[in-house]
Amino acid sequence: MTTVEKGWIGARYTRREDLRLLTGKGQYLADLRVVRDPLVVKFVRSSVAHALIKSIDVSAAAKLPGVVAVLTGADIRDKIRPLPTPSTVPLLPGHYPTHWPLAVERVRFHGEPVAAVVATDKYTAEDAVELVQVEYEDLPPITDPEKALLADSPLVHPDIGTNVMFSMVLTGGLTEAEQAANKARVDSIFATADVVVKERFYGHRCGVMPLETRGAVASFDPEAGLRVWMSTQRPHIDRLVFSELFDIPQNQVQVSAPRDQGGAFGVKAPVYREPIMIVYLTKLLGRPVQWIETREEHLMAVSQERDQIHELELAADKQGRILGLRDRVIADNGDSCEGVFWGFIMPFYGAALVPNAYHIPDCDISITAVATNKSALSPARAFGSLPGRFALDRAIDMLARKVGKDAADVRRMNLITQLPCNIATGVHYDSGNFVGVWDKLVQHIDVPRFRQEQRAARAEGRYIGLGFGVAVHASGVASEALVPMEGQPGYGSATLKMDSSGTVTVFEGDAPQGQGHETTMAQIAAEILGLDPEDVTVRVGDTNNTPFASGTFGARGGSYTASAVAMAAKAIRDKIVKVVAHDHKLEPDPAHFRFEAKSIWHKDRAEALTSMAGVCNRIIMKPLDLPAGADASLEHTAFFEAKEPMMAFSAHAAIVEADPASGEFRILRYISSEDVGRVINPLIVEGQVRGGVVQGLSNAMFEEFIYDENGQQLTSSMENYMLANAADVPNIEILHADTPCEHTPLGTRGMGEGVPGPVPGALCNAICDALEPFGIEIRDLPVRPDRVWALLQAARARAAG
């Protein structure tokens, strides 16, 4: 047990989840034995990127012993209501393609499900999948979003009549006239600026790779209703969708996320086709049905994000102060068939955050999300913002070189200093101290000393460089932003129940996937009620016993859910004070009581008034002579909604050594400075930061989804979709800023979402800084030695004339 002196909040309390996870006792979805002898589902997936379905012959598969059913899109088209449904459509003005769990009439990406095989075991199902024969009439694939914008481009959705799924100008106002006036003003700034940086940046298609893939187990009873267990970040949203699609009353639909999920990072948040099909099959067949996604399916069908082009321009004065920003964002949206997010919610949000932490009131920013014959973009950590962070971070370094200043100085002079504020796209930044966080980072590095070391190293023929990246990112998402963006509320919720022995159960409707909620939520309840975290049990992700919640995403845990837990614990504490004061004939002023060491104390008494177990037993089991207005319950449900959207801030630095002969580079140091408000558990925060940096480095250097000219995905296995491993990443130095959030009861912020965002910019800026004598500029991700070498060769060729 961790020993603490000042309280549980802020203590480096060892994660309670880790013992069972590290000793192989975790219970993931595939480990659960919640139904007897479930049928197993495997999907036949399209072998081509774009084609009409001429015929599907399932006869041989259906005859295989052990096969129970084989269904195609034609079989279900009139039996299952398609997406979109009311719960899966944002309020944004975009196109939401109609689609079913299985492809109907045509396929739109390599890997789209075209048939479902149901069998008594997975081996029979896999054999049957191989027997299904699909005849296609090939259509020209489109995999380049810029070509998809051309008038003669093939259409991914002919019924929509365009490949533009979403387009918006994010600056200037709501009307075309206001936006045109804003554009003219920004144009005039550029026309008279001392310095202009104009570049095209590309953030490639990659994503995140949770340890556990997706899956679902479902059973249906006409009287009891629908029961679903699934790996999901949002069980309450899934419940809504299943109710809508299958006309089952919500109170007869129960969705449970396992206590243990092997990561998600955003990818388990959308409403996907496969779980819908699983629910249909259990209703159709009257048997429990199970589907566990393979890694190949996961790589082909989900977990893909980023994939943005930024035509970005900066206008600045001679000192490097930014006067204006223009950015034309084009996002490769994939086929766009994905409930809730539809591929374009991520790049839309990322475009809204393009100005980042910099004071740039005059901006002209637009976003166009384009359908292609690829899998739809799905959420990933740094939600839509990583390519934009990379583009602006690189552009600022280019600006610094043009004005002859250190990039650190140019960044600092342009950071936002007055908070709260609204940036040019209308996104609200609530509070914090960006400059303070930044100064902590650069002081830790000692930039002047590094520059001396850099000069000395160059004299020896060694090339080291320093690069920075910053990110303002969501600390949860308030309802005022989430309802328009996803059509769902953003509040946090929690129920606390105390029993007659004085122990606590916390129920939260989120479905965490490794963030440490069992530990941090227990610490909060223990701190407020004077208990030990071991006295607190945390239950998550079951729609029948937890209050409605939008799910675990967008760093909601440390801000919204933690606040709801604190509010519920305080309400129970206040009730206990009322009863104890009544019993001891004291004034019921909560400020006069303290809860400590599993007992209740009063400022005027040397001894404890009662133990927590004693008072809980008194209230629940002996509810006699209670004070007026009190009853026998020690339960409370709290909902927390922030007064305004909350943000967190990260500033990162990388120091690298690069070889101008080969293009190889090595990360010598990586440092992060994070503004996360009051820290609940430093161990967990540091783990989140390290994990986010590793994801950012893996995205920047290794991961890449590659398609050939026919739209065939060439990266559908771990053999050719490469992830960073421990040997590829440095030790990560982590700094915290002490800036409690004024909008949450504990002063906490959520911080897990945006950490990968600054990483590619920091890394690439460091490489370019190291190789500055050779005049290279990295504009495209991923960054690898061969690509750095090619840039060096091109620079040498230019220098040679």
Using one digit for the tens of pLDDT, what is the confidence trace for 657-708? 999 999 999 999 999 999 888 999 999 999 999 999 999 999 999 999 999 9
pLDDT at 304: 93
767, 778 in Cβ contact below 8 A? Answer: yes
H or E segment and range at residue 639: strand 635-640
Q: What order of strands is seen across the sheet that includes strand 195-206?
A: 164-169, 363-371, 322-334, 305-316, 195-206
Give the total number of structural domains in the chain. Answer: 3
pLDDT at 599: 96
Instruction: Collapse the DSSP code of 415 into the 3-class scheme (helix H, G, I; strand E, B; otherwise coil) and give the result.
Output: strand
Quick one: 470 and 389 in the same domain?
A: yes
Q: Which two tokens stand for residue 119?
A: 């069998």
**Domain assignment of residue 216, given as a range:** 38-139+212-262+268-301
Band the pLDDT of 6: cuts 50, 70, 90.
low
Distances in Å between the Cα of 589 and the Cα atoms of 286, 568, 571, 576, 594 are 58, 18, 14, 11, 11
In this structure, the chain runs to a length of 801
Q: State phi, psi for 175 to the nearest 5 degrees.
A: -100, 160
Q: Is residue 678 part of a domain?
A: yes
Distances in Å between the Cα of 447 and the Cα atoms of 407, 415, 437, 451, 465 are 10, 18, 15, 6, 11
* Mean pLDDT to the nearest integer, 405-433: 95
Q: Is residue 147 part of a domain?
A: no
Q: What is the CATH number of the domain that holds 529?
A: 3.30.365.10
Beta bridge partners of 707: 713
Which one-letter DSSP state was computed for residue 13?
Answer: P
Residue 510 CA to residue 49 CA, distance in Å, equals 36
Q: Which two tokens stand for residue 41?
A: 């589902």
HSE-CB for 102 with a 13 A CA cutoff: 26
Q: Which residue, chain included where needed, has tokens 């590829």?
A: 728
* Mean pLDDT to the nearest integer, 186-212: 96
Quick one: 616 and 723 in the same domain?
A: no
Q: Is residue 355 part of a domain?
A: yes
Return the percentage of the chain with pLDDT > 70, whole number: 99
Quick one: 630 and 666 in the same domain?
A: no
Q: Is residue 155 part of a domain?
A: no
Quick one: 560 and 674 in the same domain?
A: no
Q: Is residue 179 part of a domain?
A: no
Which one-letter DSSP state was computed for residue 370?
Answer: E
pLDDT 10s digits, 586-628: 999 999 999 999 999 999 998 999 999 999 999 999 999 999 9
Return the percentage of the chain with pLDDT > 90, whole number: 89
Quick one: 671 and 794 in the same domain?
A: yes
Asked whether residue 344 carries a pLDDT value surpassing 90, the answer given is yes
Tally DSSP H helices, then E strands, for the chain.
Answer: 21, 28
Quick one: 406 and 515 in the same domain?
A: no
pLDDT at 2: 46
Judging by DSSP bridges, how do beta strands 225-230 and 363-371 pair with one another?
A: unpaired
Q: Is residue 94 part of a domain?
A: yes
pLDDT 10s digits, 484-496: 878 888 899 999 9
Residue 752 CA to residue 380 CA, distance in Å, equals 12
pLDDT 10s digits, 279-331: 999 999 999 999 999 999 999 999 899 999 999 999 999 999 999 999 999 99
220, 226 in Cβ contact below 8 A? Answer: yes
> 10 Å Cβ neighbour count for 419?
15
Residue-averaged pLDDT of the chain: 94
Q: State phi, psi for 612 to the nearest 5 degrees.
A: -60, -40
Q: What is the CATH number of the domain that holds 121?
A: 3.90.1170.50
Residue 57 CA to residue 131 CA, distance in Å, equals 9
State which amino acid sits at residue 256. S
Residue 331 — left, alpha, or beta (φ > 0 → left; ψ -120 to 50 → alpha)?
beta
Q: Is residue 573 part of a domain?
A: yes
Instruction: Collapse the DSSP code of 561 into the 3-class scheme (helix H, G, I; strand E, B; otherwise coil) and give the result.
Output: helix
Quick one: 284 and 327 in the same domain?
A: no
CA-based nearest residue to 762, from 629, 671, 698:
671
Please return the burial class of 23, using the count of CB atoms within 10 Å of its CB with bins 0-12, 13-18 and 19+.
exposed
* Mean pLDDT to the nearest integer, 555-584: 95
pLDDT 10s digits, 635-658: 999 999 987 788 999 999 999 999
* Mean pLDDT to the nearest integer, 548-553: 89
Boundary (domain end) residue, out of 612, 640, 668: 640
625, 632 in Cβ contact below 8 A? Answer: no
Instruction: Collapse the DSSP code of 18 into the 3-class scheme (helix H, G, I; strand E, B; otherwise coil) and give the result.
Output: helix
Per-state percent for the chain, helix, strand, coil, to nearest 5: 35, 25, 45
Please return the burial class of 772, using the count of CB atoms within 10 Å of its CB with bins 0-12, 13-18 and 19+.
middle
Quick one: 225 and 114 in the same domain?
A: yes
pLDDT at 645: 82
Quick one: 293 and 336 in the same domain?
A: no
Residue 553 CA to residue 268 CA, distance in Å, equals 9
Asked whether residue 738 carries a pLDDT value surpassing 80, the answer given is no
pLDDT at 3: 42
Quick one: 467 and 496 in the same domain?
A: no
State which amino acid sits at residue 233. Q
* Mean pLDDT to the nearest integer, 330-338: 97
* Mean pLDDT to the nearest integer, 478-505: 90
Asked whether residue 801 carries a pLDDT value surpassing 80, the answer given is no
Quick one: 357 and 466 in the same domain?
A: yes
Asked whether residue 202 carries a pLDDT value surpassing 90, the answer given is yes
407-414 and 434-445 helices cross at what angle (nearest 10)? 160
Which one-letter DSSP state was computed for residue 96?
Answer: -
Boundary (domain end) residue, out of 595, 611, 640: 640
760, 394 in Cβ contact below 8 A? Answer: no
Band the pLDDT of 4: cuts 50, 70, 90.
very low
Q: Is residue 184 part of a domain?
A: no
pLDDT at 485: 78
Quick one: 545 and 684 in the same domain?
A: no
